[in-house]
Amino acid sequence: MNKRNVIFAVLMIVVFASCKKDKTDPTPSKVDTKDFLVNGNPAGGNYNFFSFENAAEVTQVDSASTKWDFAIRFETFIVNSNASGPGNAGVQIFNQPFDAITTAPSTSYRYDTTVSQKAIKGADWYTYNPTTRSFSPIAGKTFVFRTATGKYAKLEMISADPADDLGNPVVPPTRPTKIKYKIRVAYQGDGSQAF
């Protein structure tokens, strides 16, 4: 009988020891730095569409889908929801450095309410110099996005340089046809709000 109790006790220890809580920590988001060449015409023309999931530009053909999260033309942003697309995207801008943002908020995302009422307004994130026809992202501003498919991402605009169609720098009085953005992004693909 003692031998049976010892075997039962050992078996119970093994069973309980193997029942450990599953790890629920989110996978850390990968941080990428990308160059993004966009239409430099402030008055009109096509937007350039970007997907956080693919960390790449999306073709104009897919602009009516949820394959993109935000788009930009010159310094005008649109997000994929409501007036600008079929997705569920939204955005907030924080006056905090990129690395200081460790969690995406659950609520208070802005979206494009009409074609003229954008979620992101130019003066929210850059300064403009009319003499040199250049603008610079404001340091310490971080965009936090809820993506078109309900995931989360954060973005920092590092630079915005006037360029020609090939991405080569241009200097006034030459008028740029493109803006070459350098962006830093972190995408949380598992749906977690933690970066």
Name the domain count of the chain: 1
Query: Which two tokens mark 103?
Result: 């969690």
What pLDDT score was predicted for residue 8?
A: 45
Task: Please report the sign of the dihedral spanned by the C-alpha atoms of residue 70, residue 71, residue 76, residue 79.
Answer: negative
CA distance 67 to 63: 8
- What digits encode the pLDDT tens for the residues 13-35? 544 455 544 445 566 678 999 99
Q: Is residue 10, in this structure, part of any structural domain at all?
A: no
Q: Is residue 179, in this structure, part of any structural domain at all?
A: yes
What pLDDT score was predicted for residue 11?
A: 46
DSSP for residue 88: B
- What digits encode the pLDDT tens for the residues 96-121? 999 999 999 999 999 999 888 899 88
Q: Is residue 19, in this structure, part of any structural domain at all?
A: no
Banded pLDDT at 92 (limits 50, 70, 90):
very high
Average pLDDT (155-183) is: 92
Banded pLDDT at 4 (limits 50, 70, 90):
low
Q: Is residue 36, in this structure, part of any structural domain at all?
A: yes
What pLDDT score was predicted for residue 15?
A: 47
Percent of the chain's residues with pLDDT above 90: 67
What pLDDT score was predicted for residue 28?
A: 66
Strands (E), 15-129: 30-39, 48-51, 56-58, 70-73, 76-79, 90-94, 126-129
Q: Is residue 86, in this structure, part of any structural domain at all?
A: yes
Residue 171 has pLDDT above 60, yes or no: yes
SS3 156: strand
Average pLDDT, the chain: 87
Banded pLDDT at 10 (limits 50, 70, 90):
very low
Residues spanned by the domain of 49: 27-188
Q: Is residue 9, in this structure, part of any structural domain at all?
A: no
- What digits encode the pLDDT tens for the residues 44-87? 899 999 999 999 999 999 999 999 999 999 999 999 999 999 99
Q: Is residue 141, in this structure, part of any structural domain at all?
A: yes
CA distance 192 to 104: 9
What pLDDT score was predicted for residue 79?
A: 97
Q: Is residue 22, in this structure, part of any structural domain at all?
A: no
